[in-house]
Amino acid sequence: MHETNTIPLGSHGAASPRLALRWLRERTRHVTDQLDTAYAQPGRYWLTDEAEHERVLAYLTTGTAYQLTLYAENTRYVLVAGPSGASA
């Protein structure tokens, strides 16, 4: 009942922090497009939050990973952008 499984859904190498942010935004859009409206709302808000995107760029530029987690019922979608081998 409380078992958790991690299922990697893919990865992408980006040549710059700005391209990593672009990937993060695309993946967030893909996830939110598949969620029910109530669960998609936080992701949709994040997609329009320019101040948060600037913070993401600042993190990535300094080599710090950034993590965005979206929820739907019993499922968590964890999107991470960062230097190769970094953990959020």
Beta strands in the chain (DSSP E): 66-72, 75-81
**Model pTM greater than 0.95?**
no
Which residue has tokens 């993401």? 56
59: three-class secondary structure by DSSP: helix
pLDDT at 27 over 80: yes
45: three-class secondary structure by DSSP: helix
Q: Which pLDDT does position 4 carry in this prediction?
A: 76
Reported as a pLDDT band with limits 50, 70 and 90, residue 2 is low
Q: What is the mean pLDDT of residues 42-52?
A: 97
